[in-house]
Amino acid sequence: MATAAPVLINEQPRRNWVRLRTFILLRWIAIVGQLSAIVLSFFLFDLQLDLGLCFMAIGASIVANLIATFAYPVNRRLSEREVSFMLIFDLIQLAVLLYLTGGLHNPFALLILAPVTISATALRTGPAVVVGATAIALATFVLWFHIPLQTSRGVVLRMPQILVFGFWAAIVIGVTFLGVYARRVTSEINSMSEALLAAQMALVREQKITDLAGVVAATAHELGTPLATIKLASGELIQDLIKNPVLQEDAQLIHDQADRCRDILQSMGQAGKDDLHLRQTPLTALLVEAAEPHNDRGKTIVFSPGPDIASAGPVPIVWRRPEIIHGLRNLIQNAVDFAESTVWIDAIWANGQVSIRIIDDGRGFSQQIIGRLGDPYLRNRPEGTDQEKRPGYQGMGLGLFIAKTLLERSGAELSFANARDHYPTSLKPGQRSGAIVEVIWQTEDLCPDPNTTGTGLGDNQLISTEFHS
């Protein structure tokens, strides 16, 4: 058994999301810092620098910034190629300054790490690798080729060669480590943001379905009286028009169509209602509702109480919340997809807790991913199994992530296990031998306060049918 089918979201890589204004601002900060360092080094520390060439290198950044400022709107978002070119330009400009000011003997050579870190967070892997390789190549160049730093008295400022080599090695390691680290963290943050967005979309969709069903239920309730009147009147006309078969046939048609309208409204309203009484429901009814879309998928769904239910008291009344229904529905869908023949849904309530266990007779969770279940975009799973059970299944883990997120939002704790310790190679249909998902709530998180169940709920609220953009 693997994770539930993911909600489809935009699978294209993030592009055009870095603002030109951000790069312009960062480059102005770098220009001010470079000018300050050059001026202070020349006048305060008495270093002999070729100010003309240094100012030309800094001037190139100033010109590039002015062109970017006046030629493009500041709210422009850069493509990956544009970001790559800008970062490589900054690296080359910095390397030229380092060449003019002592190479790696200049402690400001450490700033070569800044464009690499930006590329790792803003670009895909390929362009980020190009920027990192450029940084390493330029650092190696200024290691061997540079104008030595010297004072006005002719004293050459050099570090021991072993320290310079160590500084170069530190820059190379820093480029690699910071690039990989920043890339990994950024990828996880982006993946989690997209997965949370998918979870929010799923919850909004479930809420809209519930609201729509409430509108239908209210419509059915309001039309019930006029339809009953039409049915009664048409029935009387049928009796009175015995001598006129043509008109009697029309009256019978009206009578039948009134019945059809009633049946249609009744079937449309079965998905849910906004009646205040149905904001609370017995736990067993909640589970039946969550499993309803999967009843006709060729697998047997068995609802059964856990042990010692007789001594645990009556079935608890729980909140009927969209996130709970949708989360349980995702877990049940997951079990049905990978079960061989049967899925068991156990409900246990005792000792201040309510527990739901969903068990199947499939292969169970792979040992490679069982420790990471609930994380979005899972990889490194056995090939073939998921595609056999779910044609077109991509195996990103979004479905299970959404279920876990929504249920934890309601106060639940989820755990995942296999009925057998080892990943099975042979199946035993009809036995509880597959995956086990347990969802546990504290009673106060899932059930209304029993002290208020006997009080009135008040009037049903009007359902808004307006759409807001």
Q: pLDDT tier at 440 (50, 70, 90 boundaries)?
A: very high
Residue 42 CA to residue 53 CA, distance in Å, equals 13
Mean pLDDT of 235-249: 83
User: Which range in 32-46, 221-235, 239-253, 399-413 is most confidently predicted, on average pLDDT?
Assistant: 32-46
Residue 388, pLDDT > 60, answer no
CA 228 to centroid of chain Cα atoms:
49
Buried-exposed string 99-135: b where 16+ CB fall within 10 A, e elsewhere? bbbbbbbbeebebbbbbbbbbbbbbeeebbeebbebb
327 touches 398 (CB < 8 A): no
Count of CA atoms in the C-beta half-sphere (13 A) of 366: 16
pTM: 0.53
Residue 18's H or E segment, with its range, is strand 18-19
- The pLDDT, as a whole number, for residue 220 is 65
Q: Is the pLDDT of residue 439 over 80?
A: yes
Residue with tokens 């190009």: 130
Query: What does the block give as tokens for 102?
Result: 């002592």
Residue 328 has pLDDT above 50, yes or no: yes
Least confident window among 65-69, 70-74, 456-460 = 456-460
| Contact assessment for residue 319 and residue 278, using Cβ atoms and an 8 Å cutoff | no
Q: Are 404 and 328 in contact (CB under 8 A)?
A: no
Are residues 283 and 347 in contact, defined by beta-carbon separation less than 8 angstroms? yes
Minimum mean pLDDT range among 132-136, 220-224, 238-242, 393-397? 393-397
Q: Is the pLDDT of residue 62 over 90?
A: yes
Q: Give the per-residue pLDDT at 10.
A: 41
Q: How do residues 280-315 score in pLDDT, each as one tens digit?
A: 888 888 898 889 888 888 899 998 876 555 556 788
Answer with the residue of higher pLDDT: 384 or 119: 119
Tell me what pLDDT residue 93 has: 93
Q: Over pLDDT 70: what percentage of the chain? A: 74
Arithmetic mean of pLDDT over the chain: 78
The mean per-residue pLDDT over the stretch 405-420 comes to 85
pLDDT higher than 50, residue 113: yes
User: 355 pLDDT exceeds 80?
Assistant: yes
Side-chain-side CA neighbours of 43 within 13 Å: the count stands at 6
**CA separation for the pair 274, 295 (Å, rounded):** 24
Q: How many whole angstroms separate alpha carbon 414 and alpha carbon 434?
A: 17
- Which of 116, 98, 239 is CA-nearest to residue 183? 116
C-alpha closest to that of 350 among 421, 430, 268, 441: 441
* Mean pLDDT score, 234-251: 83
Please give the average per-residue pLDDT across 75-102, as a whole number. 89
Q: Is the pLDDT of residue 88 over 90?
A: yes
The pLDDT value given to residue 74: 66
pLDDT at 376: 64
Higher-pLDDT residue of 94 and 12 is 94
Please give the average per-residue pLDDT across 360-379, as a whole number: 75
Complete DSSP assignment for 138-174:
HHHHHHHS-PPEEBTT--EE---HHHHHHHHHHHHHH
Q: Among 170-174, 246-250, 377-381, which is the least confidently predicted range?
A: 377-381
Banded model confidence at residue 3, pLDDT cuts 50, 70, 90: very low
